């Protein structure tokens, strides 16, 4: 495989495995010390790099060694986060420990002072991006929850978008991961070892992360990913550990908005 010269200087001759977990559409190559993420160049890539560098020292995130663009692709070489994904069977078999750590990870994000954060992911920003995707028919209809569209659901993405505009909730800004799913949270030695896939991280609503975490926990427990069911992993434990009552209207809003991304 050919890499830009700046990338090749770090990884030439080194062996790797490919991480196929997740649905980002990127290629992720795992080396002993590094992770190399390869994807089609997007206008927001440099903003993501700025956010990741801003986060260094604030929360555990990969440290960027090199970023390069070549022939329409971006290459981000970063340090490899140690530990296991939160969706590892070790944690799914230990729901009390898992939900304690997920709550800790959320609080870690919310406790960051967002002054100077390079990216804003407010409700208006999210809706504008969703509108852009809907108008250009970019919504992946093969990657939505079965009940979202069709009988008992929305007619099409246009109707869902209109509903979202009519039902936007109050805004509770914090540092939001933006894709707080179990594969993006790494755990090790009883703590949070790292957050990965930070392409949507910025100042955003706390309930977006709660909603995506709840759904990810629920789907993993129900065997949606991998087929194994974990009957003792109750996603409602998340709210107990967060010491908050679930706001189902906000959770529904953010889960439905995520269907357009």
179, 197, 200, 205: which one is catalytic? 179
CA distances from 108 to 20, 138, 191, 247, 249 (A): 27, 33, 11, 21, 24
Residue 208 pairs in a beta bridge with none
Please give the domain boundaries of the chain with CATH numbers for all domains.
5-79 (3.30.200.20), 84-258 (3.90.1200.10)
Distance CA 46, CA 68 (A): 10
Distance CA 40, CA 22 (A): 16
CB-based contact 261:121 (threshold 8 Å): no
DSSP H or E segment with residue 99: helix 95-110
In the block, residue with structure tokens 């080194």: 14
Distance CA 205, CA 210 (A): 9
Q: What percent of the chain has pLDDT over 90?
A: 93
Strand order in the sheet with 84-85: 84-85, 185-188, 191-195
CB-based contact 181:212 (threshold 8 Å): yes
In the block, residue with structure tokens 């994000």: 109
> Which residues touch 91 (CB under 8 Å, ≥6 apart)?
84, 97, 98, 101, 187
Residue 35 pairs in a beta bridge with 30, 78
96 is catalytic: no
Tell me, yes or no, if the pTM score tops 0.85. Answer: yes
Q: How confident is the model over 65-81, as pLDDT tens digits?
A: 999 999 999 999 999 99
- Report residue 86 as tokens: 């939160």
Residue 1, pLDDT score: 75
The DSSP secondary structure of 216-229, one letter per residue, reads HHHHHHTTTTTS--
Residue 24, pLDDT score: 61
> Which burial class, exposed, middle or buried, applies to 16 when counting CB atoms under 10 A from its CB (0-12, 13-18, 19+)?
middle
Residue 43, pLDDT score: 83
Distance CA 4, CA 65 (A): 14
Positions in the chain short of pLDDT 50: none
CA distances from 191 to 52, 82, 110, 158, 252 (A): 20, 11, 16, 42, 29
Distance CA 79, CA 37 (A): 11
> Which residues touch 55 (CB under 8 Å, ≥6 apart)?
61, 198, 201
């Amino acid at each position: 495989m050919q890499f830009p010269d700046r990338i090749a200087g770090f990884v030439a001759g080194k062996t790797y495995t490919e991480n196929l977990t997740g649905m980002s559409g990127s290629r992720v190559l795992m080396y002993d010390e590094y992770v190399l993420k390869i994807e089609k160049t997007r206008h927001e890539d440099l903003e993501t790099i700025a956010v990741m560098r801003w986060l260094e020292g604030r929360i555990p995130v990969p440290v960027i060694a090199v970023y390069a663009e070549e022939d329409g692709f971006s290459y981000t070489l970063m340090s490899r986060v140690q530990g296991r994904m939160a969706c590892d069977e070790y944690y799914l078999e230990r729901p009390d420990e898992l939900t304690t750590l997920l709550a800790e990870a959320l609080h870690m994000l919310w406790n960051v002072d967002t002054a100077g954060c390079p990216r804003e992911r407010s409700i208006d920003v999210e809706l504008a991006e969703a509108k852009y995707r809907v108008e250009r028919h970019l919504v992946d209809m093969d990657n939505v929850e079965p009940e979202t569209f069709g009988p008992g659901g929305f007619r099409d993405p246009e109707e869902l978008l209109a509903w979202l505009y009519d039902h936007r909730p109050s805004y509770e800004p914090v540092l939001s991961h933006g894709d707080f799913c179990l594969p993006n949270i790494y755990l090790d030695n009883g703590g949070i070892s790292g957050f990965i896939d930070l392409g949507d991280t910025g100042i955003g609503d706390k309930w977006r992360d709660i909603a995506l975490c709840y759904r990810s926990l629920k789907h993993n427990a129900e065997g949606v990913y991998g087929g194994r069911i974990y009957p003792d992993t109750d996603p409602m434990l998340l709210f107990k550990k967060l010491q908050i009552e679930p706001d189902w209207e906000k959770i529904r809003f953010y889960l439905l908005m995520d269907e357009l991304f």
